[in-house]
A and B are shown apart, each in its own frame.
Chain A
Amino acid sequence: MAIAPRVRRRPQNLPDMLTACQARLARILLLACLLLALPAGWAKEAVPVAEDPELERRMLALSEDLRCLVCQNESLAASRADFANDLRREIREQMKADKSDKEIVDFLVARYGDFVLYRPPLKPTTLLLWTGPFIFLLGGSIMLFVYLKRRNRRVADSTLSEDQRRQAEALLEKGKGRDE
C-alpha cells in the first residue's frame, strides 16, 4: 500500500525567533500535546463506525489473529486495506447472525486457506513449523552439553608434564629477553 510521503517542513527562521532554551521548552510542550492527542486520534481510526461496541471488540479480537492477504504482514484488525475492511464487515455480519468464532474462522479458511491464520493448525505440512524450534533447542542443548563435557575433561587434565614445563619456562625466558 502506498502512503503519501509526509514532508516535514520547519520554518527557516525558527532558531532566530527562539532562544535555545525556549526552543527546547516548545519542543517538549509540542511533544506532550502530540502524546496527549495520540490515543484519541488512534481510537478514531481503529474503530470504524459501529453501533455495537461489544460486537466490535469481539470482531477486532478475532481479526487480530487473522492475516490480511493484501498486506501480508498485517492482521485483519490492523490493516487499512480495502480488502481487510470488507472482511471485517463480513466478520461483523456473521457475528450479528450469531455465528461462533470457530464458524467464522472456518468460513474464511474454506475460502482463503490456512494462510489467513496467524496460528496455523498442526498438520503434516506444518509439523516442521511447529516442532522446528524445539528440534533446534534440543540440538543446541546436546551440542552445548557435549562441548561442556569435553571442556571439563580438558580442564581436568591440564597439569603440565615435566617436558612441557621446561618448554614453557624456556619460552618465558626468551620473551623476557626480547622485552628488555
Chain B
Amino acid sequence: MTRFLLPLVAFIVLVGFLLVGLGLNPRQVPSPLIGKPAPEFQLEELHQPGKTIASRDNLGKVWLLNVWASWCVSCRDEHPVLVELARSGIVPVYGLNYKDERDLALQWLQQFGDPYAASARDPEGRMGIEYGVYGVPETYVIDKEGVIRYKQIGPVTVEALETKILPLVRELQG
C-alpha cells in the first residue's frame, strides 16, 4: 500500500507547488525600498524647463510618485485612473517622466490629460535606478516622513487603487 501511496503523495505535493507557482506573477518583485526613505531628487520640471522640483518639498504630506513615459503603452491604461484620482483631490500625484523626450511627453499629456501636480524629468533613467524602477509604469506611495510605503508595479488599476492604495493613503493621512 505505501508503495503506491508514497509516490502519489509526493506527486500531489509537487502538483500543489506547481499550481501555486502558476498563480504567482514573476514580474512582482518585492521592492526592498518599502519602509525606506524615498530617494531624494531635485529634477527639472517637465512644463517649466529651468525650474526644478524637489522631493523634499513634499515632506509633511502623503503623495504618489507615478513613473511614466510617452512610449509606455501600459501607461495609457492607467492614465484615466490617475486623471480621475487627481480630480478627486484625495492625494497629489507627482510624475517621474522616465527616459522620455520633453516634446513627446508634453504632447502626450495634452492628448490624454495631465493628472500630475508636477512632473520631474529623468531623461536618462538615473533617478529610476535610485527608485528601483524596472518596468514602467510604477507608482510609489510616500508618506509624510518621506518613506516609501507601497509600490505598485505595472498600471494602477481601479481595483488596486480601491483595495490597496486609497486605504493606505487614508491611513497615512491620519
Given A70-B134, A70-B135, A72-B26, answer yes or no on A111-B125 (Cβ-Cβ < 8 Å): no
How far is A90 from B134 in the complex, measured between Cα atoms in Å? 14
- Quick one: closest A residue to B134, CB to CB? A69
Tell me whether A111 and B130 are in contact (CB under 8 A).
Answer: yes
Interface range, A side: 10 to 19
CB-defined contacts of B125 to chain A, threshold 8 Å: 86
Footprint of A on B, CB under 8 Å? Answer: 26, 29-33, 99, 124-126, 128-132, 134-135
User: Given A86, A87, A112, which contacts B29 in the complex, CB threshold below 8 Å?
Assistant: A112
Q: Is the interface of B mostly helix, strand, loop or mixed?
A: loop
Tell me whether A109 and B135 are in contact (CB under 8 A).
Answer: no
Tell me whether A113 and B30 are in contact (CB under 8 A).
Answer: yes
- Quick one: closest A residue to B136, CB to CB? A83
Tell me whether B129 and A111 are in contact (CB under 8 A).
Answer: yes
Does A115 sit at the interface, judged by CB under 8 A?
A: yes
| CB of B55, distance to nearest CB on chain A (Å) | 16
Among B30, B99, B126, B129, the most chain A Cβ lie within 10 Å of the Cβ of: B129
Footprint of B on A, CB under 8 Å? Answer: 69-70, 72, 82-83, 86-87, 90, 109-115
Q: Can you pick out 27 interface pairs between chain A and chain B where the beta carbons lie within 8 Å of each other? A: A69-B29, A69-B135, A82-B99, A83-B134, A86-B124, A86-B125, A86-B128, A86-B129, A87-B129, A90-B126, A90-B129, A110-B32, A110-B33, A111-B32, A111-B33, A111-B129, A111-B130, A111-B131, A112-B29, A112-B32, A112-B132, A113-B30, A113-B31, A113-B32, A113-B132, A114-B32, A115-B29
